[in-house]
Amino acid sequence: MTSGNGDFARRIQHLRDRLGLTLDQVAERADMSSGYIQHLETHLGTPDRGTVTRLAKALETTVEDLLGGGHDRPPGQGAAMDEPVLEVLETEECLRLVAPGGIGRVAFSGSHGPTVLPVNYKFHDGAVVFRTARGGPMDQDLRTGLEGVDVKIAFQVDRIDEVRRAGWSVLIQGAAHHMPDDEVAKVAEAGVTPWAGGERHLYIRIVPQQVTGRRIHGL
């Protein structure tokens, strides 16, 4: 096996981090040594089917997903769990769920009609922060043209757990504040890095004015 981190290794790391498990905990679940789990996370290649099956069970996923076979499959196509429960989330729990950051969606009325776009975000100092291109379409659509008046937009994040047939969704509504240069230092420490790359130096901050959320789970 060649040293280096491949797709299979990254999927193990991602699933372990998502579950908050240590190497020892995964090793115990899979009946393997923690050293072997660490080896799988840091080397290229895929082990035998039996090992993959045990790992998938330990990481609460399927063999197909662990091998990357479900990468292009839309989420939520499986059957619903028996007696699913839809729970309304309190504001505090909603903010706790979005706090780790990641990928969310912003929704607003754009120049060509209703618009929804994915953004890489961080939750910093009680607000959602993301970056876009200065002078770009989103920048222009989110300006009112009036000094001190911001456009109200929606920001949504969800997580779907295919294995457990569960998930949650949080919706935040608030004003999209274009941060001038003298305010950027306050949010730059959040470390927001847009996946789209390019010259995206405009920081937009959404202070939650209304927060709602739902979680679906079993009894």
Q: What is the pLDDT of residues 161-184, one digit of tens each?
A: 766 678 899 999 999 999 888 888
Of 64-68, 116-120, 167-171, least confident by mean pLDDT is 64-68
* 79 vs 22, higher pLDDT: 22
Assigned CATH topology for domain 7-66: 434 Repressor (Amino-terminal Domain) (1.10.260)
User: Taking residues 137-157, what's their average pLDDT?
Assistant: 90
The answer to whether the CB of 214 falls within 8 A of the CB of 86 is yes
pLDDT in tens, 92-113: 999 999 998 999 999 999 988 9
pLDDT value of residue 71: 57
For the chain, give every domain's residue range: 7-66, 85-217
Phi and psi at residue 122, to the nearest 5°? -130, 150
**The residue count for the chain:** 219
CATH 2.30.110.10 for domain 85-217, yes or no, is yes
The token pair at 131 is: 């970056």
The token pair at 74 is: 């839309």
User: Taking residues 63-70, what's their average pLDDT?
Assistant: 79
The token pair at 41 is: 């996370």
Of 17-21, 46-50, 140-144, 187-191, least confident by mean pLDDT is 187-191
Q: Tokens 């020892």, residue?
A: 24
Rounded CA separation 81/109 (Å): 36
Phi and psi at residue 49, to the nearest 5°? -60, -40
pLDDT value of residue 155: 98
pLDDT mean across residues, the chain: 86
